[in-house]
């Protein structure tokens, strides 16, 4: 079969574009990695309970740091530990969180606190809670049958 030379050119061009596209996708995927945005370090997710600070989840007042409270949080299907977080209004809080099993979300509804928890990674966020109130914390990553029941509460008190 005779292939017109323009047709041939377009075939070559198309193939070249496809290869270029795959290279770009491949390079960015491996280069950027797939770990969550707020992730600072890695952890053995099977031993979360034994590794500090996750061996002691909860709200901890700290001294001599740039923040006032550390909230150590462990997510697992289908709950958060601690179930309830209470901090005084105006305090600067460092959230340090991870998951013991699958991917979970951590979204404090109505605030800019929203991050992904991925097995093997620790996510963190430092923020000032400047509005008193009771906030619902929801899991915004589908994690299984109990996903919709996975929530907790953040109380910012006066
Ligand atoms: Cu945990 Cu959805």
Closest atom of ligand 1 relative to the 144 alpha carbon: 2
H/E element, 28: helix 5-32
Local structure of 12: helix, strand or coil: helix
Ligand 1 in reach of 146 Cβ (< 6 A) = no
Residues 12 and 80 in one domain: no
Tell me what percent of the residues of the chain surpass a pLDDT of 70: 89
Cα–Cα distance, 21 to 27 (Å, whole number):
10
Closest atom of ligand 1 relative to the 103 alpha carbon: 1
* Mean pLDDT in residue range 49-68: 96
Nearest to 72 by CA among 36, 39, 98, 46: 98
Residue 28 clears pLDDT 80, i.e. is over it: no
Ligand 1 in reach of 139 Cβ (< 6 A) = yes
Residues 14 and 70 in one domain: no
* Mean pLDDT in residue range 133-146: 96
Residues 29 and 45 in one domain: no
Which has more confidence, 4 or 94? 94
Q: 145 is written with which tokens?
A: 């049958």
Q: How far is the CA of 137 from the centre of ligand 1 (A)?
A: 11
- Residue 21: which domain range? 1-33
* Mean pLDDT in residue range 125-131: 95
Would the ipTM clear 0.90, i.e. be above it? yes
Compute φ and ψ for 59, nearest 5 degrees: -100, 125
CATH code of the domain containing 92: 2.60.40.420
Compute φ and ψ for 149, nearest 5 degrees: -95, 5
* Mean pLDDT in residue range 107-133: 94
Residues 26 and 85 in one domain: no
Quote the number of domains for the chain. 2
Give the burial class of 93: count Cβ atoms within 10 A of its Cβ; 0-12 exposed, 13-18 middle, 19 or more buried: buried
* Mean pLDDT in residue range 98-111: 96
Q: What tens digit of pLDDT does each residue of 61-77 get?
A: 999 999 999 999 999 99
Residues 15 and 67 in one domain: no
Closest atom of ligand 1 relative to the 148 alpha carbon: 2
């Amino acid at each position: 079969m005779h292939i017109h030379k323009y047709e041939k050119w377009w075939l070559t061009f198309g193939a070249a574009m496809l290869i270029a596209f795959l290279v770009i996708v491949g390079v960015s995927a491996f280069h950027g990695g797939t770990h969550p945005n707020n992730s600072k370090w890695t952890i053995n997710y099977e031993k979360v309970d034994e590794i500090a600070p996750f061996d002691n989840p909860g709200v901890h007042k700290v001294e001599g740091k740039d923040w006032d409270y550390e909230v150590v949080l462990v997510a697992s299907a289908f709950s958060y530990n601690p179930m309830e977080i209470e901090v005084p209004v105006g305090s600067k809080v460092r959230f340090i969180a991870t998951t013991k099993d699958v991917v979970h979300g951590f979204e404090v509804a109505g605030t800019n606190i929203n991050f992904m928890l991925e097995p093997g990674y620790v996510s963190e966020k430092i923020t000032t809670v400047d509005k008193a109130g009771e906030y619902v914390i929801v899991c915004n990553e589908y994690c299984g049958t109990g996903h919709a029941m996975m929530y907790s509460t953040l109380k910012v008190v006066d």
